[in-house]
Every structure is written in C-alpha cells, then in structure tokens.
Amino acid sequence: MSILSTQDPDVAKAIADDERRLVDELVLIASENYASAAVREATGSVMTNKYAEGYPGRRYYAGTEFVDRVEILAQERAKELFGCDHANVQPHSGSQANMAAYFAKLSPEDVVLGMRLDQGGHLTHGSPVNFSGRLYDFVSYGLNRETELIDYDEVEELAKKYRPKLIVCGATAYPREIDFERFGAIAKETGALLMADIAHIAGLIAGGVHQSPIPVADIVTTTTHKTLRGPRGAMIMCKEEHRKSIDSAVFPRVQGGPFMHQIAAKAVAFKEALQPEFKEYARRIVENAKALASGLSAGGLRIISGGTDNHLMLVDLTPLGVNGREAQDGLRAAGIITNRNSIPFDKLPPMVTSGLRLGTPALSSRDMGVQEMARVADFILEALHGLDDPVELQRIRGRVADFAGAYPAPGVTDA
C-alpha cells in the first residue's frame, strides 16, 4: 500500500486507473509522451517545496544552493543539446514561454506574423480568443490550398506588405518539415525578428532528424514534454543579445517562483536526450509516422499533404463520411486515443472537424516499430468502419489492450 493510497484513496485510485489506461491503450496524441521513471522521480521530489524567485546566484530567498545546481545543469544541458547561446528553463508552459518572448520584444499593437490556428498554428500565434491576438496586431499566413504545405511565398508577401516586428514560425498540426532557413531569409529581408516555436518537434531537432532553427531564429520556444519526452513545462532559447530581455520577461514580468521540481526534471530529460539512443528514438518516431500514414492511406483515408516528414499526420475522414468528433469518440471506445483536428480549409467547425491528428512519439517510446504501426493502422481502420457498433468497438478494445500491454510503458511499467 502506498502512502497516497492510505491517505487519499480517491486520488490514488484515479492515478492508478490512469496508469492502467497508459498501459492498455494506444496513445496517438501527437503532443503526448511517456516521461521516464527518472524524470517522474524528479518531478515528485522535494524541490516542489522551494521558492526560488530570481535566477541561479541571484535569488530572492535563502536555501537555494541545491536548486541553483539543477537549474544550471538544465541550462547547460539545453545549450549543449540545441547549440543555443542561452536557455531560460523557467517557463511553466508553452503558452507562458510564448507570452514571455512577446513581452520581451513587443509592445501592445505591434504587428506580428503568425500561422493560422485552423491551418496548424497555435492559439498563442495570434488567435483572436488568446492574449496574443488581443494584445498584438497579428497578420496570419496559412497553407497553399493545392499542396497543403506552408505557402512561403505568401509569408514573404505578407512580411513585405505589413513589415511585422516579429515573425512566428512553428506549428501544432503541420506534418511537414518547416523550412526555417526560408523563414530566416524572409525575416532578414524585411527587418523582422524571427521566433520559432518548436514545441512539437523539439525532440526531432535534438535527435537530428529535423532542421534546427537555432542558427536563424532570434528566439526559440519549446515545451519539454512532447517529442522531447521530459516533464510538463517549457523553455526559451535565444541569441546572447536577447538574454537580458528574455530573462526579465520570464521573471518578474510573466512568472513568479519557478517550479524547481520541474526544472530538475527538465535537466534529467535533457541528459536523456543527449544520449545516443535518443537519436535512434527520434529516427524511429518519423519512420513510424510514415509507416502509420501509409497504412491508413492504403486503407482508404486521405492523409493531408500526402504524408508526413515528422511525428504527426492529419487524416481527412471525409472519404469515410464521418466527422472528427465521431471518429475520436469511437476510437476512444476502442482504446485508441486521438484528437479531432481541423483539416486545412475545413468546412466543419472546430468542435466537430473533418479530421484527426495522429502522432507516434508515445508509441515509439514503447519500443514499437513499423510492423507494430501496420497493426495500429488496422485497429484504427477497423474501429472507424465500426463506429456504429459499440459491441464491435468493445471487442477491438480488448484486442488493443492485449496488443498494447505487451509493450513497456516507460515511467509506468518500470516505475
């Protein structure tokens, strides 16, 4: 019996149920992963107790000598991993990292260029319902209707026309390699700063299977829990000239006390990502995504842009005559966890959508490879064809659990 299950059986039971779910189900949400047992141990450590407003060596509290040590380790490892001049490892989340980056460089109503949310961008890239779209004057770029690829010519045209102070590149639902060099050239030509939000692809960049924005971007933000496989959290990397403004934007402008337990866990995750095995992991994520996309395409689904170069794919469900919400719910009943997602130029609203976003980071962490992806594609297709039949979905759920249960779930089955 654990201490938690004695003291608070309700919470303990919910956590135990979630652990079971992570073993029995197939997690295909592109932004989720399995943090290692070591990462989880750090997040559950005594460093959750410490207030340490400020930065290592310049804190507003006593007793920070050990948290200073982990923050410096996290900074140094991040710099080694990505080759950046400076890393601020304090942001609690991707949104707060982006907020701090904007606060560091922009004034309200400045013009910013960002990718449309409904074509793959993020809320914080200028959505009108988000602080970004309310505070700044965002102009949006999107995809070419024919190729479903980022329309770099449109980006260039808009940058020349509106002369933004900042160009934001990076996406949450874009299956192709982002041409950071091209963004860098456009920013240089138009006198804009360039910010790359690499939250989704940070692990692929660290693993050397996606081009890095570090040489061309002034500021790079990322979360640490997606392909990077660390604890929930974020960081900002920047060129030396932006260090001071970024650090003071994170603290004291946006955040107060940093989450030192999360920073300790970020340090652990960065060390893991520096190991040679991580390169192999990153390579396998992409290989698996390509295999899954081709299995689904062979089964009659349309894959947006014809495939994937990274960890995710967008599936157009229109050929099956079902919408994203129906598909997400049916797959969930079959033990397959996905999220509905707008496809480019979607005719259905965001709460319904015509598509699904599927990603392979979590399954790749469970040591699954291309053969397993063929099985996963079959499970998905069977479930999508049986959406009207709850008994059939339940039957698939049993087979999915038998299949998934045979693969280790890092941080769960070894914790």
335 dihedral zone (left: phi>0; alpha: psi -120 to 50; beta) = left
Which x/- pattern over 138-177 shows residues binding ligand DSN (rule: CB under 6 A)?
----------------------------------x-----
Q: Are 224 and 269 in contact (CB under 8 A)?
A: yes
Instruction: Figure out which of the listed residues 27, 40, 77, 94 binds ligand DSN, where binding follows CB under 6 A.
Output: 94
Q: How far is the CB of 350 from ligand DSN (least distance, A)?
A: 13
What one-letter code names the amino acid at 207?
A: G
* Catalytic residue chosen out of the listed positions 124, 190, 221, 223: 223
137 is catalytic: no
Which of 86, 311 has the CB closer to ligand DSN? Answer: 311
Q: What angle do CA 71, 231, 363 make, to 5 degrees?
A: 145
Which of 94, 184 has the CB closer to ligand DSN? Answer: 94
Residue nearest to ligand DSN (CB): 31
Site for ligand DSN in 98-137 (CB under 6 A): 122
232 is catalytic: yes
* Catalytic residue chosen out of the listed positions 25, 151, 197, 346: 197
* Catalytic residue chosen out of the listed positions 53, 68, 326, 378: 53
Instruction: Figure out which of the listed residues 22, 25, 26, 31 binds ligand DSN, where binding follows CB under 6 A.
Output: 31
What one-letter code names the amino acid at 316?
A: D
Which of 73, 234 has the CB closer to ligand DSN? Answer: 234
Q: How far is the CB of 132 from ligand DSN (least distance, A)?
A: 13
Site for ligand DSN in 259-278 (CB under 6 A): none
51 is catalytic: yes
Q: How far apart are CA 136 and CA 130, in angstroms?
A: 10
Q: How far apart are CA 413 and CA 133, in angstroms?
A: 42
Tell me whether strands 58-59 and 312-316 are parallel, antiparallel or unpaired.
unpaired
Q: How far apart are CA 192 and CA 308, in angstroms?
A: 29
Using CA atoms of 400, 414, 47, 282 in order, give the dihedral in degrees to the nearest 10: -60
Q: Per the structure block, which two tokens stand in for 4?
A: 């938690």
CA 332 to chain centre: 21
* Catalytic residue chosen out of the listed positions 232, 239, 243, 332: 232
Q: How far is the CB of 32 from ligand DSN (least distance, A)?
A: 8
Q: How far is the CB of 143 from ligand DSN (least distance, A)?
A: 17
Site membership for ligand DSN, residue 360 (CB under 6 A): no
Bridge partners of 54, per DSSP, are 59
Which of 31, 140 has the CB closer to ligand DSN? Answer: 31
* 253 closest CA partner among 262, 263, 245: 245
Which of 225, 284 has the CB closer to ligand DSN? Answer: 225
* 293 closest CA partner among 362, 364, 380: 380
Q: How far apart are CA 233 and CA 91, in angstroms?
A: 7
Q: Per the structure block, which two tokens stand in for 282?
A: 């990153």
Which of 31, 288 has the CB closer to ligand DSN? Answer: 31
223 is catalytic: yes
Q: Are 264 and 68 in contact (CB under 8 A)?
A: no
Q: Are 308 and 319 in contact (CB under 8 A)?
A: no
* Catalytic residue chosen out of the listed positions 19, 24, 32, 51: 51
144 dihedral zone (left: phi>0; alpha: psi -120 to 50; beta) = beta
Q: How far is the CB of 31 from ligand DSN (least distance, A)?
A: 3
**What single-letter DSSP state applies at residue 301?**
P
Q: How far is the CB of 343 from ligand DSN (least distance, A)?
A: 15
Q: How far is the CB of 172 from ligand DSN (least distance, A)?
A: 4
* Catalytic residue chosen out of the listed positions 116, 176, 226, 284: 226
Catalytic residues: 51, 53, 197, 223, 226, 232
Where does this chain bind ligand DSN (CB under 6 A)?
31, 94, 122, 172
